[in-house]
Amino acid sequence: MPVMPKLFVTGATGQLGQHVIDTLLETVPASAIVAGMRDPAKDEGAANAFRKKGIEVRTADYSRPETLASAFAGVDRLLLISSSENGERKVQHRNVINAAKDAGVGLIAYTSILRADTSPLFLAEEHRDTEAALAEAGVPFVLLRNGWYTEVYTWRLPLAFKHGVLIGAAEDGRISSAARADYASAAATVLAGGDHAGRIYELAGDASFTLAELVAVVAEASGKPMAYQNMTPEEFRSAALQAGAPEIVARILSDTDAGVAKGALFDNGGELARLIGRPTTPFQTTITGFVRNQ
Ligand SMILES: NC(=O)c1ccc[n+]([C@@H]2O[C@H](COP(=O)([O-])OP(=O)(O)OC[C@H]3O[C@@H](n4cnc5c(N)ncnc54)[C@H](OP(=O)(O)O)[C@@H]3O)[C@@H](O)[C@H]2O)c1
């Protein structure tokens, strides 16, 4: 009987990681999957939920290299889900890559950012560094350059509902977002098999929208009027700070909107749909679903 490759998903407790594991389970036996967690003892509920499904759980803390050396033993393919700790990611991701190399992992798939090599977004800097680290390591790798999750835009809606206005600095820049589950399907597809080493996938939704168009969908779904108000990136950053956003979040919001105005999150290459073998989830579906659940 052929031996099933061992597939490791880091950040398995996160929203993307959980989607990836659920998608993998549709085609791969649970015994082939390893869920990497920062601290299974601290998050026993999540660890036990994986174990109940027959999935092995291992400690893999990006900031504690000593956990990574043993985590990757016997692993054939590794999905490195980018850390949520902005500012720490260069070191964290290099820790993971070095440990995977030492353990003899055969393929690393990394969740990067759309057009990381040329993106003007401040968030792209750590991804560029990780992509360079992968190239330096000499381990076969594949880049999943993810565009925006549509779900990201739901974070701005509670405040927009309060004022009847969504503020931003994206002008009429178009955003080709897709549902988180679409990107998870792409990651699961690449991890589960096929010849992906050396590939760079620019992943984004099939359709695009401006923030004004997003607001129109929100207004229709909620039955409440809402307008889009554009401002300069600096005004938007100040408004986000005034609304209570932490400094880093305000910076990311204003910088990303400024990038959207320059086309940083627009893509019409259709690569995500091709990779997952189906159209991406329309942004209207994700946004309407969120609004109706409020
Ligand atoms: N494309 C987009 O629109 C977009 C939007 C947001 C984020 N992202 C990026 O995509 C990644 C996945 O998205 P998501 O929605 O799944 O984010 P998420 O729900 O915040 O999950 C992040 C995962 O990273 C793990 N993590 C953070 N620091 C770690 C560490 N030191 N060691 C091990 N694991 C660590 C978290 O573990 P714990 O459960 O232990 O915290 C969690 O499992 C994010 O981390 C971020 O880099 C992309």
Q: How confident is the model at residue 276 (pLDDT cuts 50, 70, 90)?
A: very high
Q: Is the pLDDT of residue 118 over 90?
A: yes
**Residue 251: inside a domain, yes or no?**
no
Q: Which of 16, 84, 85 to mutate to test the pocket of ligand 1 (most atoms within 8 A of CB)?
A: 84
User: 54 CA to middle of ligand 1, Å?
Assistant: 23
105 part of a folded domain: yes
pLDDT tens track for 241-271: 999 999 999 999 999 999 999 999 999 999 9
Query: How far is ligand 1, taken at its centre, from the CA of residue 212, in Å?
Result: 28
User: Can you tell me the mean pLDDT for 77-91?
Assistant: 97
CA nearest ligand 1 atom 22, residue? 14
- Note whether residue 66 is domain-resident: yes
42 Cα: distance to centroid of ligand 1 (angstroms): 17
Task: Find the 13 Cα to ligand 1 centroid distance in Å.
Answer: 8
pLDDT at 1 over 80: no
CATH number reported for the structural domain that contains residue 35 in this entry: 3.40.50.720
What share of the chain has pLDDT > 90, as a percent?
96
Ligand 1 atom nearest to 183, measured from its CA = 1
Q: Residue 54 sits in which domain range?
A: 7-147+179-203+268-280
Cβ 16 under 6 angstroms from ligand 1: yes
Per-residue confidence at 2, pLDDT binned at 50, 70, 90? low
Q: Token pair for residue 278?
A: 């189906």
Report the pLDDT value the prediction gives residue 134, as an integer from 0 to 100: 98
pLDDT tens track for 201-240? 999 999 999 999 999 999 999 999 999 999 999 999 999 9
**Span 121-168, pLDDT tens digits:** 999 999 999 999 999 999 999 999 999 999 999 999 999 999 999 999
What pLDDT sits at residue 169? 98
Has residue 82 been placed in a domain?
A: yes
- Considering the domain boundaries, does residue 199 fall inside one? yes
Domains in the chain, number: 1
In a domain, 98, yes or no: yes
Question: What mean pLDDT do residues 96-114 have?
Answer: 98
Is 62 near ligand 1, meaning CB less than 6 Å away?
yes
CA distance 103 to 91: 18
User: pLDDT at residue 272 above 70?
Assistant: yes
> 18 C-alpha to center of ligand 1: Å?
11
Task: Answer whether residue 106 shows pLDDT above 90.
Answer: yes
In a domain, 47, yes or no: yes
> Does some domain include residue 164?
no
Q: What is the pLDDT of residue 75?
A: 98
